[in-house]
Structures are given as structure tokens and as C-alpha cells.
Structure 1
């Protein structure tokens, strides 16, 4: 798993953690959010359904929640990356 060194420095400096502690914390947080959006939606739908929510309210809630939820980026080919950069 790639961890941005700038993020590690920020966590170290802002928290007072050592470099290994900061790395472990960042890796833990990233692994928690390492879920593709499709999987997250299916899992969250099932969770809400378990508590008796109906689809109409579930989908409205999912729309709201996914805006602020961190999910794993899709795998992108070199061609896709080039199209993003160059259009």
C-alpha cells in the first residue's frame, strides 16, 4: 500500500507520534477505507436493511453518506491516466 510521505510527516508533526507509529496509524486508516464504492454501497445497503429501513430512505441516505465517505479509487490503466491528464 502506497502511503504519501507528506501525509506521514503531517501526522507525525501534528500528533507527536514517532515515524513508525504514524505509519501504522495511516496504514490502519487507509485499510479501513480500502473498499471500492460498489462494495461499500452493497454492504451499507445490507446494514441499513438489517435495521428495518426501506429502500426509498436507504437510497436517499446512501446518496448523502457516499458524498463524505472515503472509498478506494478504481484501478486505472496508463491510457485512462493519460486521458485524464491530456483529455
Structure 2
């Protein structure tokens, strides 16, 4: 992630109900919760996302939250590896 980039999260909806409307042990959570658990070693990020913002909105994570949930695989980059040199 490049310095200054933002990471946004939100819940999901089945078209009628938001994820947070289902009990924590409901099977509707299983696919997304398990995926997050497989990728990040626990499911706490999943629960964070479904309460952070509804499905039709977005919550922009703070740097401490990004670190807390371990969603980056490398430190934030101060310069983009994709930068083009300035034409002279």
C-alpha cells in the first residue's frame, strides 16, 4: 500500500438484511468469515467490517486499524514503484 492510499471496508447484504442483522453463529456468515480467517489467521477483521459501515456505504480505515487487523503484507511504501520520471 502506498503512503496516502486509503483502505475502505463495508458490510454485505443479501438484498434485504445486512450482515449484522444475522446472529454471529448464522450460516450466512460462514463463507466470508471463513475466508477472512483463512487469510488472516482469525476472523476479527470480518466482524470489524460488518459493523464498520453498511453494505451501501464505506468506512475508511485508520492506520492503526490497518495495523491491528494485519491486512497488509508489507509496510506502507513512501514512494510508488509505479511512478514515472518527470519529463524534462
Please indicate, yes or no, whether the TM-score normalized by the shorter chain is above 0.5: no
Q: Could you say which TM-score interval applies, normalised by the shorter chain? A: under 0.3
TM-score under structure 2 length normalisation: 0.26
Which is helix-richer, 1 or 2? 1
